[in-house]
Copies of this chain bind each other. A is one copy, B any other.
Amino acid sequence: MIAVEHSVPAGAAVFSEGDEGTGFYVVLEGRVKIFKLSAEGREQILHLFGPGDPFGEAAVFAGRHFPANAVALAPSRLLFFPRAAFVDLVTRRPSLALGMLAVLSRRLHRFARLIEDLSLREVPGRLAAYLLALPGAGSAAPVVLEIPKAQIAGLLGTTPETLSRILRKMSDRGLVRVDGPRIRILDRPALEDLAAGETRLA
Cβ of A117 to closest chain B Cβ, rounded Å: 9
Number of copies: 2
Residue A182 at the B interface, CB < 8 A?
no
- Would you give the 0/1 interface string for A143-175, flagging 1 where the beta carbon is closer than 8 Å to chain B? 000000000000001000000000000000000
- Contact residues on A (Cβ < 8 Å of other chain), bracket: 35 or more
Residue numbers in B under 8 Å from A36 (CB-CB):
112, 115-116, 119-120
Which DSSP category, helix, strand, loop or mixed, fits chain A's interface?
Answer: helix
Residue numbers in B under 8 Å from A38 (CB-CB):
116, 119-121, 197
Judging by beta carbons under 8 Å apart, are B94 and A57 in contact? no
Smallest Cβ-Cβ distance to A154: which chain B residue: B119
The segment out of A39-47, A74-82, A128-136 that lies at the interface is: A39-47
The segment out of A6-14, A59-67, A184-192 that lies at the interface is: A59-67
Judging by beta carbons under 8 Å apart, are B118 and A46 in contact? no
Query: Measured between alpha carbons, how far is A100 from B104 in the docked complex, in Å?
Result: 10
Smallest Cβ-Cβ distance to A40: which chain B residue: B197
Judging by beta carbons under 8 Å apart, are B108 and A98 in contact? no
Cβ of A163 to closest chain B Cβ, rounded Å: 14
Smallest Cβ-Cβ distance to A158: which chain B residue: B119
Residue A48 at the B interface, CB < 8 A?
no
Judging by beta carbons under 8 Å apart, are A109 and B58 in contact? yes
Known: A101-B104, A111-B115. A120 touches B63 (CB 8 A): no
A interface with B by C-beta (< 8 Å) = 36-40, 42, 44, 46, 57-63, 67-68, 87, 90-92, 94-95, 97-98, 100-102, 104-109, 111-116, 118-121, 157, 196-198
- Known: A58-B105, A62-B102; 9 extra A-B contacts, CB below 8 A, are A46-B112, A46-B115, A58-B108, A63-B105, A90-B97, A94-B94, A94-B97, A104-B108, A107-B108
